[in-house]
Amino acid sequence: MPKFAANLTMLFNDKPFLERFAAARAAGFDVVEYLFPYEFPAETLKAQLAANGLEQVLFNLPCGNWSGGDRGIAASPDRVAEFRAGVGKAIGYAEVLGVSKLNCLAGKRVPGFSDEDHWKTLTANARFAAEALQGSNMLLMVEAINHYDIPGFFLNRTEQVARLIEEVNLPNVRIQYDIYHAQREEGELAATLKKYLNLIGHIQIADNPGRHQPGTGEINYPFLFGEMDRLGYSGVIGLEYVPEPDTLKSLAWVKDFGYRL
């Protein structure tokens, strides 16, 4: 049976961020994730997790100026020092929060550099990050993002992430498989899960179109959840969707599909 995590960046977003932990617990979650912790002291976030009996499973490495349009810098040839400094910052937060998985976003192509430049930078940075995370027994996730939502994003397909993992050649690098992005970019969801399950370290979900909750679009989530169980996926599934009309009403699908939080 799937284990679901509330993505606090996306869910309960009618509340200030620090109030979302209690809201997630009240809704029945005991696992959370979110994009970034860096706006708050790590001890403040740890206190929210402890007060609400929550486990946090994931957050992203620093991704540059998110509000200014950055969507990751791991493949940016001109920002290597910034990326590598961010790895240390992320590990510090993860150690306080008890998080064992950090997600790496390649980011958008930088004008003036070739795809080869970007690939070499991404490979070297991913290896640097994975080596650093090994010392703290953490896994490095790498996520592909569809090119419709983020034009110019450097990694779009699951097979590209698998190639990166092969080239980095370290045991603690995994695919963060976002089913919404995968559906928009490549489809073949069940076949991809089967092909790459041994490399998938975390799964996130939303339906398409609209990026709303399961049951609002074209993706057959009851079938996919059954496939995950059949294939032996034992990790957490992050609910990284835009709730419609609000978070609590959006969670009706969990019971409708025969699951529980």
Q: How far is CA 70 from CA 87, 102, 117, 127, 155, in A?
A: 17, 18, 18, 21, 14
Q: Which residue from 208, 195, 197 is spatially nearest to 235, judged by alpha carbons?
A: 197
Asked if 185 is an active-site residue, the reply is: no
Q: Are 71 and 35 in contact (CB under 8 A)?
A: no
Locate 23 and state its tokens: 């809201």
Strands annotated E in 68-227:
101-104, 139-143, 173-178, 200-205
| Rounded CA separation 118/116 (Å) | 5
Which listed residue (143, 166, 185, 186) is catalytic? 143
Locate 14 and state its tokens: 């009618």
Q: Which residue from 231, 218, 227, 155 is spatially nearest to 187, judged by alpha carbons?
A: 218
**DSSP-based three-state secondary structure for 167:** helix
Locate 35 and state its tokens: 């994009």
Which listed residue (19, 33, 240, 244) is catalytic? 240
Gyration radius of the chain over CA positions: 17
| Rounded CA separation 122/101 (Å) | 18
For CA atoms 82, 85, 91, 92, the dihedral sign is negative
Asked if 159 is an active-site residue, the reply is: no
Which residues are the active-site residues? 143, 240
